[in-house]
Structure 1
Amino acid sequence: MLTIEEMKQLLEKSLAPKRFKHSVHVYETALELAAVHELPVEKIAVSALLHDCGREVPTKESAAKADELGIAIDEVERSQPILLHAKLGVYYAQQKYGVTDKEVLDGIAYHTTGAAGMSTLAKVVFLADMLEPGRDFPGVDELRKAARKDLDKAMLMAYSNTVRYLLDGGLLIHPHCIDGYNELIRLQKKQD
């Protein structure tokens, strides 16, 4: 596996400048969350930095590229190919950056849709992607505060924001998003 610095150099060559800057901000935000929650940073750092490495493939070409690589695509992803950058990211993380750790790869795979059974690492990457300094949407400051206190409560807030955004835009909601939301609601109800 490449070092973080080698990954940054390769990523900078592979992504548009704005996307690379976003990736670095997600990396920095994930490290901040890891520090707050006293989590080991090595895997989080790699997953956060590479979360968008699949964006080197333009969205309009992502379904064809996934088909070419033998990556399974579901109906929602085929209808909204922007989601495919996560699966392509897993492929590139393995093939181009030498990542073999399943937890790191899952953080990349689920950073867009979320999912049930996400590891703490995957939750940090998901939230860091949504909360990095370049993000500005109604409720982002409350979400940033929540993420520093309780990752699961922040995930619930993030899922709610995502679902509202998708509904307002008339977009499909990936089943992984619903599964992740439902899992956390069930856990919350057991604790109440």
Structure 2
Amino acid sequence: MKKLLKESLPHKRYKHSLEVYETALELAKAYDLDKEKVGVAALLHDCGREIPTRDLLMHTIALGLPMDEVEKNQPILLHAKLGVYYAREKYGVTDPEILEAIQFHTTGAAGMSKTAMVVYLADLLEPTRDFAGISEMRQLAKVDLEQAMIKAYAQTMRYLLEYDLLIHPNCIDGYNEIAAKFKKLKLNL
């Protein structure tokens, strides 16, 4: 898998994939998750990036993959759907949990598995990433998955707003699901 991925991705993207893989395995250990599933999902999370950004929309249409209005207007998001396609067709992945992690590694979503959350966080927190508060978020990710997800969603939305980018509804749904859970817990205390 690594060999094929290395041949398919630009060097910098391949190195990022390896960093996400290592970060995800650390988190998988912290949450006693299936390391093979997490590892495959993390390694392949950006396999759809073998298609240059300018061609993502065209490739998605050519393959007949569904897309929503946000994805049409911000085609970079389509690399996740293409990633699911390539994971299945090129790398032989059939496990729904792995495919879900690849699909939602960029936007997040409500109802994500722990594997998908770990891959989302690993993509955001891998060692080459840098933003205000990342050290604290890295520590939090090792002890409280959902609290780390809340902070990760907030970081993602701040970034998108700062650069006048669209926020996918899946991101908002994922944030709201966890935020509502914490709000209920506070109210029941």
Cα distance in 1 between the residues matched to 2:40 and 2:185: 33
Which of these residues, 156, 163, 166, is aligned with residue 162 of structure 1? Answer: 156
Q: List aligned pairs for 1:1-192, cutoff 5 A.
A: 7-192=1-186
Work out the number of aligned pairs and report it. 186
Deviation of the 1:163 alpha carbon: 0.7
Deviation of the 1:73 alpha carbon: 1.2
Percent sequence identity is 61
TM-score (norm 1): 0.96
Cα distance in 1 between the residues matched to 2:47 and 2:136: 28
* 1:131-179 deviation per Cα after TM superposition (whole angstroms, max 9, x unaligned): 1001011111111011011000000000001111111111110000000
Cα distance in 1 between the residues matched to 2:165 and 2:3: 35
Cα distance in 2 between the residues matched to 1:38 and 1:97: 25
* 1:108-135 deviation per Cα after TM superposition (whole angstroms, max 9, x unaligned): 0000000000000000000000010010
- Give 3-state SS (helix, strand or coil) of 1:149's partner: coil
* 1:10-57 deviation per Cα after TM superposition (whole angstroms, max 9, x unaligned): 000000000000000000000000111222211101000000000000
Cα distance in 2 between the residues matched to 1:77 and 1:183: 22
User: Any runs of at least 4 consecutive aligned residues in structure 1 with deviations exceeding 6 A, and if so which?
Assistant: none
Letter of the aligned partner of 1:55 in structure 2?
R
- RMSD over aligned Cα, in angstroms? 0.6
TM-score (norm 2): 0.97
